[in-house]
Structures are given as C-alpha cells and as structure tokens.
C-alpha cells in the first residue's frame, strides 16, 4: 500500500516555524545580555547558565525533545529566582522568553508546563519578597509570567490542532486513494468476469451450432439444415463480438451512451427479424456506472433474442425510464406465440450480472405479454 506524501506549506520549505522561534529567542537572549546593567557576579553566573541551557535547548530540540524541554525549564527558573536582586528587567525578560517557549512545546504535557510555570512564579514572588520590594513590584513580574504561560499554551493548542488536522487530512487522502484503488480492482474483476462470460457463452453456443452443421452434412447430407446452423453461428459470433466490444469499452472507461445503444440495438433487431421494435425513453437522462450500463444493454439484447427465438414475428416494445433514484428497462412482446414461459440460462446470467450492479430483474407473463423488467439504482 502506498503512503500519501505530506504536503508542506511554502514558509515551512524555507524555514520551519520552530526554527524561526528558536532564532528569535536566541536573538532576544543575546540582546538582553548585551543591554544588562549588572555588576553582581552571581547574577551574571545565573544569566550565563540560563543562556547555556537555552542554547542546549536550541541544539537538542529536534533530536531529544525531552532533554531540551528540561534545559528550557532550567533556563526559565534561574532568572526567575533572581528577579528581585536584578538591577533591571534583564532577569524577567530571560525568564519569560524561556517560559513562553516552554509553554508552546507539544512534546511536554500541559500539566508539566503549568507545574514549571507555577514554580517560576513562586520563585519570582519569593525573590521579590526577600528583596523587600512592594506588593505591586512583587506581583508585576509573576503576572507577566502567567500571561506568557497562557499565551504559550494558546499557541500550543493551535499547533496541536493543526497537527491533528494534518494527520486527519492525510488519513482521509489515504482512505480515498485506497477506496479508489479497491473500486478500480473491483471494476476490472467485473470486466474480466464479463469477458469470460461473453466468450464462454458465445464460443460454447458457436461450437454447438458448428457441430450441428457438421453432423447435418456428414450424417444426413442436409445442406439446408447445415446452412441454417451456419447462419445461426454467424449471428452468435456477431452478438458475442458486440458484447465483448461493450465490455472492453467499459474497461477503457468509455461509458456507453445508454439511450443511443438501446435504440441501435432495437433497430438492429427490427431489421434482422423483420418486426417492429418500438423504443422510447423518458425522464431526465443522467450518467450511470459502466457496470449498470453494460448490464442493461446485455439484458436488452437477451430479451430481444428470446423474443425472436420464442415468439418469432411478434412486435416488441422497449422503454427506458429515468425515475427518482432508479432507472428501469421494460421489454415486452406479445405472449400469443411465445413458445417458452420459463427463464433460461441467458436471463439467469443477466439477473446475476444486474445484481452485481445493485439492480434487480423480473420476467414472466403479464397482461397478455411476456415482460422483462430490469431496475438499477441511480
């Protein structure tokens, strides 16, 4: 089975979104450190360790996301622990950059993100309290941290939904491709069966007629009987060739024009048997699956053949109706001279073929006529 390739957006082919965020975060870290006004070596040590953890996160994020997330948590916690001692806003900037990025990671659970966020807020509040700052100053930095965590989680949810939507889209495409492949295989199997049935029926009947002609000539010297058998053989060969051509046309996806084909079939029968075949169609014409078209055309030919064989000289009426949700083919001929009232192998085979197309076939005497009615859903 094939795998549907992933479709990537143009910006992602230039630079993935995660890489852009990493680069921007690194630039913010660098700018913050360059503009920091600190003289305390301990604070600079915390800044240095936090920066090293950020760089480790950037390098390890594509390959080892769990380790990268742990480094990012350290990068946010160290500056948060010294915001009260810092002489400017550098510490809080470093902390919220790392914390905000941590909140967007899809490789970490929401509970873990909230846990680290609350830890950083607690460290910031403690740092401000130890530095003896006012309540307003103590709550300002934790408020900014909380806001960044919420914004990061919102972005994370968007990425999760986008990933799920992409996965669902790929699964849908894959399912559609597999459905189309299965439908194509089913159609080819059906056509192979049609060809097999056509050839088996036509060649079998043709062989019987030729054997009969041979027997009439060699055993009885009946030239007229042999000539009739040869003529029947020729008609069987022509009918088999026409059915095989229709099956090949369906295989090539050249869906038969149903109304025109039935009209031509009726005209050919009228010409060959010197009878009247009245054909008409009603309803709004619409395309049908090739399986249904081939089955309906085959049923029309079989019904006409039976009429010519068992009710010679009788006129035939054939109607094609496009109704709501169904297409009907109704073939009738006078029952008066009909020499057979049972269903032969021809109609039985057509019933099976029509069933494969989801349709149904009924045949039998009705109101003084022999009626063959085929219905397919459409």
Last residue of a domain, one of 130, 158, 177: 177
Same domain, 166 and 48: yes
Q: Do 164 and 77 share a structural domain?
A: yes
Asked if 351 and 298 touch (Cβ cutoff 8 Å), the reply is no
The answer to the question of residue 237 being in a domain is: no
Predicted structure pTM score:
0.44
CA distances from 316 to 27, 358, 367 (A): 88, 26, 14
Cβ atoms of residues 256 and 209 within 8 Å? no
Give the helix ranges, DSSP H, for the chain: 10-14, 17-35, 41-60, 65-81, 90-104, 110-130, 135-215, 223-251, 258-273, 290-310, 345-356
Is 202 a domain residue? no
What is the per-residue pLDDT for 369?
A: 86
Is residue 280, in this structure, part of any structural domain at all? Answer: yes
At 227-272, the pLDDT tens digits run 887 887 887 777 777 767 766 665 555 556 889 889 988 998 888 7
Are residues 30 and 133 located together in one domain of the fold? yes
Regarding whether 264 and 165 lie in a shared domain, the answer is no
Domain-embedded: residue 331: yes
pLDDT of residue 15: 45
Q: Are residues 170 and 24 in the same domain?
A: yes
Widest CA span in the chain: 130
Residues whose CB falls within 8 Å of the CB of residue 72, separated by 6 or more in sequence, listed in order: 53, 54, 57, 98, 101, 102, 105
Indicate if 159 and 282 belong to the same structural domain: no
Same domain, 172 and 299: no
Instruction: Answer yes or no: is 219 within a domain.
Output: no
Q: Which two tokens stand for residue 51?
A: 């920066």
- CATH number at 378 reads 3.30.565.10
- How much is the pLDDT for 376? 92
What is the rounded radius of gyration, in angstroms, for the C-alpha atoms of the chain? Answer: 41
Low-confidence ranges of the chain (pLDDT < 50): 1-15
Nearest in space to 328 (alpha carbons), one of 262, 244, 245, 275: 262
Q: Please check whether residue 374 lies inside any domain of the structure.
A: yes
Domain edge (last residue) among 177, 192, 214 = 177
Rounded Cα gap, residues 45 and 42, in angstroms: 5
Calpha distance 189→181 (Å, rounded): 12
Is 232 contained in some domain?
A: no
Domain residue limits at 57: 10-177
Mean pLDDT of the chain: 79
Does 293 lie in the same domain as 162?
Answer: no
Number of structural domains (the chain) is 2
User: What is the reported pLDDT for 256?
Assistant: 62
* Gap between the Cα atoms of 302 and 307, Å rounded: 9
Nearest C-alpha neighbor of 104 from the set 65, 150, 156: 156
Helix, strand or coil, per DSSP, at residue 375: strand
Those residues with Cβ within 8 angstroms of residue 123's Cβ, 6 or more apart along the chain or in another chain:
77, 80, 81
């Amino acid at each position: 089975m094939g795998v549907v390739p992933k479709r990537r957006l143009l910006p992602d082919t230039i630079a993935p979104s995660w890489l852009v965020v990493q680069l921007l975060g690194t630039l913010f870290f660098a700018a913050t450190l360059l503009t920091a006004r600190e003289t305390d070596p301990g604070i600079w040590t915390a800044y240095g360790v936090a920066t090293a953890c950020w760089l480790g996160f950037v390098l390890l994020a594509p390959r080892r996301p769990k380790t990268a997330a742990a480094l990012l948590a350290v990068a946010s916690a160290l500056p948060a622990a010294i915001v009260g001692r810092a002489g400017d806003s550098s510490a809080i900037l470093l902390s919220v950059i790392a914390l905000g990025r941590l909140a967007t990671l899809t490789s970490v659970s929401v509970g873990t993100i909230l846990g680290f966020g609350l830890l950083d807020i607690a460290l910031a509040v403690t740092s401000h309290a130890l530095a003896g700052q006012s309540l307003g100053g103590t709550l300002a930095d934790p408020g900014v941290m909380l806001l960044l965590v919420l914004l990061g989680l919102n972005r994370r949810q968007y990425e999760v939904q986008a990933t799920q939507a992409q996965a669902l889209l790929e699964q849908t495409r894959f399912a559609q491709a597999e459905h189309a492949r299965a439908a194509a295989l089913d159609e080819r199997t059906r056509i192979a069966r049609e060809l097999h049935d056509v050839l088996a029926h036509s060649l079998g009947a043709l062989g019987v007629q030729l054997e009969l002609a041979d027997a009439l000539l060699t055993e009885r010297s009946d030239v007229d009987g042999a000539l009739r058998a040869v003529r029947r053989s020729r008609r069987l060969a022509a009918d088999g060739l026409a059915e095989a051509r229709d099956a090949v046309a369906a295989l090539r996806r050249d869906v038969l024009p149903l109304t025109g084909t039935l009209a031509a079939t009726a005209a050919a029968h009228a010409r060959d048997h010197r009878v009247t075949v009245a054909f008409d169609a009603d309803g709004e014409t619409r395309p049908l699956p090739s399986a249904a078209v081939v089955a309906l055309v085959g049923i029309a030919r079989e019904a006409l053949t039976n009429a010519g064989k068992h009710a010679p000289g009788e006129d035939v009426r054939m109607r094609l109706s496009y109704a709501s949700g169904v297409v009907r083919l109704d073939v009738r001929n006078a029952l008066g001279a009909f020499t057979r009232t049972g269903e032969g192998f021809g109609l039985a085979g057509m019933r099976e073929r029509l069933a494969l197309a989801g349709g149904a076939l009924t045949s039998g005497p009705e109101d003084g006529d022999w009626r063959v009615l085929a219905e397919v859903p459409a």
